[in-house]
Structure 1
Amino acid sequence: MARQLRPVDLEFVESAPLRLVFSAHLTASPQALYAALADDVAGWPAWFTAVTAARPVDDGAGREIRLKGGTVFTETVLAREPDIRYAYRVDQTNAPGLRALLEEWRIAPTPTGSRVQWTFAADGPGPLRIVLRLGRPGLGRAFKDAMRNLDRRLDRSSG
């Protein structure tokens, strides 16, 4: 059953009780990277293997994301800054323990492509925060694999 989470704003990315930050370099341009993140929501399962289904809702103001294992997130997009930042908060989920969750993707140009930084900002009871911290290496691997897959996908589509 889906539970309502606490609504948070963009400042939560800095003030959350738990912040997990990951970064990667991609050869894709900031424009291509942003388009894949923000404009092609339905394409996420093709490169982020933890995502089994993704669709924009409310004319793109929100998203519905389904993960392997059955977790579902209903989200509100909070920031759409082309080629710079894409952020959303989770409004409802069936994941236990979460009180608030916001994810932010920051993009910066580099001489050879883009640098992307993903911040996973969460709040929940102490035991959940411990589990998430312990799960950081796995989440980091999932992020690195997703970015490698996305870079390959974008390279194929531009070539």
Structure 2
Amino acid sequence: MAHRLRPVGPDFAETAPVRLVFAREVAAPPEAVFRALAEDVSGWSDWFSAVTLARPTGDGTGREVRLRGGTRFAETVLAAEAPRLYAYRADVTNAPGMRALVEEWRLTPAGGGTRVQWTFAADGTALFRGGLTLARPGLGRAFRNAVTALDRRLASAPA
């Protein structure tokens, strides 16, 4: 059953009760990584294995995302500041116990490529928060695998 989440702003990425932050360097330049995140939303399922469907909504101001296992999100884009920041908030989900969610992608030039930092900022019931903390290693692995796959995809893309 889908439920509406608390509408939070971009600052929630810094103040959420649960903040999981992961980072990895890739060879692709920040501009290419930003395009893949913010402009090629439908391409997410090609490099982020947990994502089965992603598509822009509302002229790009929103997103619809479905994950493996059946979790669904209707999201609002909070920031799309090329080539350094992409952030979105979940507005509606079927994930039990979740009350608020912001995901933030920060891109910084690093060693000829990009440092990609993903913050998963959430609030929910005590059970949800505890489960999310326990899920940290799996989310970190999913992030690393996704960013590695994205970097390979960008390296093989025609110039």
What TM-score range do you get, normalising by the shorter chain?
over 0.9
Output the CA distance in 2 between the equivalents of 1:110 and 1:124: 35
Q: Write the mapping of 1:1-159 to structure 2, written as runs, cut at 5 A.
A: 1-158=1-158
**3-state SS, counterpart of residue 69 of structure 1:** coil
Structure 2 vs 1, CA of residues 158 and 112 (structure 1 numbering), >3 Å: closer, same or farther? Answer: farther
- Letter aligned with residue 30 of structure 1: P
Cα offset, 1:158, TM superposition: 4.2
Output the CA distance in 2 between the equivalents of 1:25 and 1:130: 29
Output the CA distance in 1 between the equivalents of 2:153 and 2:96: 33
TM-score, normalised by the number of residues in structure 2: 0.98
- Letter aligned with residue 128 of structure 1: F
Output the CA distance in 1 between the equivalents of 2:11 and 2:40: 25
**3-state SS, counterpart of residue 99 of structure 1:** strand
- Letter aligned with residue 69 of structure 1: G
Output the CA distance in 2 between the equivalents of 1:98 and 1:36: 27
Output the CA distance in 2 between the equivalents of 1:158 and 1:25: 21
**3-state SS, counterpart of residue 56 of structure 1:** strand
Identity %: 60
Output the CA distance in 1 between the equivalents of 2:142 and 2:158: 24
Deviation digits for residues 45-95 of structure 1, max 9, x if unmatched? 000000000000000000000000000000000001001000000000001
Instruction: Specify every segment of 5 or more residues in structure 1 that has no aligned partner in the other structure, as ranges.
Output: none
Output the CA distance in 2 between the equivalents of 1:18 and 1:42: 28
- Letter aligned with residue 157 of structure 1: A
Instruction: Specify every segment of 5 or more residues in structure 2 that has no aligned partner in the other structure, as ranges.
Output: none
Output the CA distance in 1 between the equivalents of 2:33 and 2:6: 29
Output the CA distance in 2 between the equivalents of 1:112 and 1:96: 41
Q: Which consecutive segments of 4 or more residues in structure 1 shift more than 4 A?
A: none
Cα offset, 1:125, TM superposition: 1.3
